[in-house]
Amino acid sequence: MPPPPPGPAAALGTALLLILLASESAPTVMLRAREAAQFLRPRQRRAYQVFEEAKQGHLERECIEELCSQEEAREVFENDPETEYFYPRYLECISKHGSPYTKNPDFVSCVQKLPDQCSPDPCDKEGTQVCQDLMGNFYCQCRDGWGGRLCDRDVNECSQQNGGCSHVCYNKLGSFHCACYSGYALSPDSRTCHDVDECADAGACGEARCQNLPGSYSCLCDEGYAFHAQEKACRDVDECAEGRCEQACVNSPGSYTCHCDGRGGLKLSQDMSTCEDILPCVPFNVAKSVKSLYLGRMFSGTPVIRLRFKRLQPTRLVAEFDFRTFDPEGVLFFAGGRQDSTWIVLGLRAGRLELQLRYQGVGRVTSSGPVINHGVWQTVSVAAALPGPAQGSWAGHPAFACIHLLSG
């Protein structure tokens, strides 16, 4: 029995499809006469199965084996978003590869991929972990360090709490990394920084002492020496080149000494750098019992300074003076009369003070104290108990002498 003639609405839909196919320039869209005749026949719904209409529309049956309208595509997807996404692209497949009746494999493949909105993948390849197909939509699941709808935007991790880095955070596409200041190293967690003990390297300071510091280290030398980085050794500091002394300066390994012009009436101050005036040891007063104070090398030598002084007491002699010398031996002080045989001599022997005392024909010699012939100013105090001149002689009176080294 022949099928009933199509109604006006069906004829109008068929005409619209023919107009759409004819508007495409691809030659594959043109149908052969037999195919066109089949297409013009009203489409029969496959309702010969009892439950066919109750089932979900099938994409291959509805739109691949045969041409389908948008309404028929709606029966396949059963929702508007996917239908509106699918149908314009379905018409593009027809335009590129021909109608279902051409049996072109490319057409079949083109239509089968249309429902999957992740094919082709709209997400950024570098920033996307996976594309999820949704109903008429898609979702790009981003990798760490990427953001945006298509996972094509780099996330600057360093902008939030410095990326968790202790010191420096460097951002890069899709990631970041932490770095440490000089003298620190990155811990296994790739976030925190810990101090590097440079002194663990035995050659860090060479012959100098190594002191580890937070983020650094220091090479230490004894006083008077400075560390030479290239040689990794301690070298003597020439303090004299720094102008530390007011007058003369003598540099020595690890130290230095300052000197003042004694002939000009100056001596080294207690700060060991500046010079000050030498105070006279004895007042220059005209008095009785005049004696000579010799500051010469030999008894017969000409005195450096001849002084006259007044005894503080008739039976006591006190004298104090400053001197400096590099000589190991010599006479510093002599006191005694010209006619009597009682006298005291203060001198140097092997660089140490030596006291000689002669009284009633008996001589005594003693030496003690540190070596003082190193050119540094010394202060010496001499106290001697001597009979007064009123007795005319020292005979019958006890005598003694004391030497005090006050500085040096």
* Co-location of 100 and 190 in the same domain: no
Domain membership of residue 119 (yes or no) is no
Q: Say how far residue 60 (Cα) sits from the centre of its chain.
A: 70
C-beta separation of 314 from 388 below 8 A: yes
Measured between alpha carbons, how far is 178 from 163 in angstroms, rounded to an integer?
A: 8
* Co-location of 330 and 284 in the same domain: yes
* Co-location of 268 and 297 in the same domain: no
pLDDT at 14 over 80: no
* Co-location of 213 and 256 in the same domain: no
Domain membership of residue 123 (yes or no) is no
What tokens appear for 384 in the block?
A: 């001697």
Predicted TM-score of the model (pTM): 0.41
* Co-location of 217 and 264 in the same domain: no
* Co-location of 263 and 355 in the same domain: no
Q: Which domain holds residue 264?
A: 241-275
Domain membership of residue 334 (yes or no) is yes
Domain membership of residue 120 (yes or no) is no
Q: Which tens digits make up the pLDDT trace of 135-151?
A: 667 899 999 899 999 99
What tokens appear for 130 in the block?
A: 């996976």
What tokens appear for 289 in the block?
A: 């019992």
* Co-location of 76 and 95 in the same domain: yes
Residues pairing with 344 in the sheet: 335, 357
We report the CATH number of the domain holding residue 340 as: 2.60.120.200
* Co-location of 336 and 353 in the same domain: yes
Number of folded domains in the chain? Answer: 5
Mean pLDDT, rounded, of the chain: 74
User: Which spans in 244-403 are helix H?
Assistant: none
- CB-based contacts of 297, cutoff 8 Å, min separation 6: 327, 330, 331
* Co-location of 289 and 362 in the same domain: yes
Of the pLDDT bands very low, low, confident and very high (cuts 50, 70, 90), residue 294 is very low
Measured between alpha carbons, how far is 322 from 334 in angstroms, rounded to an integer?
A: 15
Measured between alpha carbons, how far is 357 from 336 in angstroms, rounded to an integer?
A: 10
Of the pLDDT bands very low, low, confident and very high (cuts 50, 70, 90), residue 221 is very high
Grouping H, G, I as helix, E, B as strand and the rest as coil, residue 321 is strand
Question: What's the helix, strand, coil split of the chain in %, to 5?
Answer: 20, 30, 50
Distances (CA, A) of 90 to 62, 84, 108, 392: 12, 10, 10, 150
Q: Say how far residue 375 (Cα) sits from the centre of its chain.
A: 48
pLDDT at 369 over 50: yes
Counting every residue, how long is the chain? 408
pLDDT at 359 over 80: no
Domain membership of residue 321 (yes or no) is yes
